[in-house]
Structure 1
Amino acid sequence: MNRIAPIAATLALSAEAAIRWTGCPTDYKPMEGALDMDRYAGKWYEIIRDKWYAFEWLQMCGNYEYSKKDDGKYQVVYNRWTPLSDWKDTPGCVMPAEGRTDAAISVDFDKAPDDAQIPVYTVMDTDYDSYSVIYQCEEHWWGSYDGVWILSRERTLDDATMGQLVSQITQKLPEYGFFENHMMTPQGESCVRDEEPEKFMDVDQNN
């Protein structure tokens, strides 16, 4: 099966990336109430992502599959294709974000030894059935770095919905610079796998 050609140029962080020399914004309005993980579970395809996000450099065909474990907690497997390693699947633990009452979740892909190192992803909007908008911001001693994702239950998202979501992002996060920092994630026929992704045992954060 033909694969998507590798990205031609190496991406590098620059002053135009989603970097700010202050802390994370506090005036944006995420979705109210806790995320209903039972409804959110299942597969989400990545339609748009931040092009400077280092964790996803040179990666395509990304999708996230959330599932409920035997103990009632949730895990996610991040599936994507890279020109260096073909398909790659990474499991992670999903937890409610500590101290948050909105639709924010902590996702630990690396079994971080310190809870403070686990990234928090805020679901800014979702209808659970077709789209989801994710925002993440990390603070460091020099300032902060943020990113936005648009996900879909299908490999494509209709233009009307996309337009509404982009408008919402630019209104809620005017300092983010959506049009300068986003990129489309390919989800075409080349993203259909020859083999089913690896099935992981329940991921245990404490192991």
Structure 2
Amino acid sequence: MYCVRARYGATDEPGVVSVYNVATQPDGEFTSITGSASAPNASAPGSLVVEFPGQPDGSYWVLDTDYTSWSAVYSCDNFGGLAVEFGWVLARENAVTEDVYNRAMSNFAKYGIDTSLFQKFYHGDDCVYDEPETPQRS
């Protein structure tokens, strides 16, 4: 996928944020999903549970953040005996500087996480991050 973006927002439920993920699939189709994230343990605010409809809940850990421009996030869950790992460098801007990228990536190495299969997503000026409008029939 490419043109990937996550948008987080407030909800009426204390301690819960909305999560809206969008991306363009390899065939050019726009895809989106809405879920929520919460930190069930107040003493570990960087340990999150993320829920999306029809998907198993995911455990996410914020490894590090500067609270203004980037975060290094990791997930490792076991689904039916299969370990599934993901890592993300989340940024507020589409164009991440090499310095920010390297600072975030160093956190994965610090925790012994293999980043050899990590991929950077394309975020060009032609990316679509909002649901395309469907023409109305008259």
TM-score for both structures, normalised by structure 1: 0.56
Displacement of 1:139 in angstroms is 2.4
- 1:185 lines up with 2:121 in the alignment: yes
Cα drift, residue 191 of structure 1: 1.0
Structure 1 residue 97, shift from structure 2 partner: 3.8
Give the one of 57, 79, 82 matched to 2:22. Answer: 79
Query: 1:57-206, aligned counterparts within 5 Å?
Result: 59-72=1-14, 73-84=16-27, 86-97=29-40, 101-110=44-53, 117-140=56-79, 142=81, 144-173=83-112, 176-178=113-115, 180-193=116-129, 196-197=130-131
The Cα of 1:61 is off from its aligned counterpart by 0.9
Q: What SS does the corresponding residue of 2:100 show, helix, strand or coil?
A: helix
1:22-51: CA deviation from partner (whole Å, max 9, x where unpaired): xxxxxxxxxxxxxxxxxxxxxxxxxxxxxx
Deviation digits for residues 120-149 of structure 1 (CA, Å, limit 9, x no counterpart): 111111122100111001125646332211
> Kindly, what percent of the aligned residue pairs are identical?
20
Unmatched 5+ stretches in structure 2: 133-138
| Aligned positions, number | 131
Shift in CA distance, 160/85, structure 1 to aligned 2, threshold 3 Å:
closer
| 8 Å Cα contact 1:97-1:120 kept in structure 2 | no
Residue type at the aligned position of 2:21:
Y
DSSP 3-state at the match of 1:164: helix
CA shift at 1:74, angstroms? Answer: 1.7
- Of residues 128-137 and 75-84 in structure 1, the stretch that sits farther from structure 2 once superposed is 75-84
Shift in Å, 1:111 = 5.1
TM-score relative to the length of structure 2? 0.80
Comparing both structures, which one devotes a greater share of its residues to strand?
2
The CA RMSD over aligned residues, in Å, is 2.4
Q: Is 149-158 or 99-108 further displaced after alignment?
A: 99-108
Counterpart in the other structure of 1:11: none
Structure having the higher helix fraction is 1
Could you tell me which runs of 5 or more consecutive residues in structure 1 were left unpaired when the two chains were aligned: 1-58, 199-207
For residues 86 and 103 of structure 1, what CA distance do their matches in structure 2 show?
33
SS of the residue 1:83 aligns to: coil
**What is the alpha-carbon distance in structure 1 between the residues aligned to residue 85 and residue 61 of structure 2?**
11
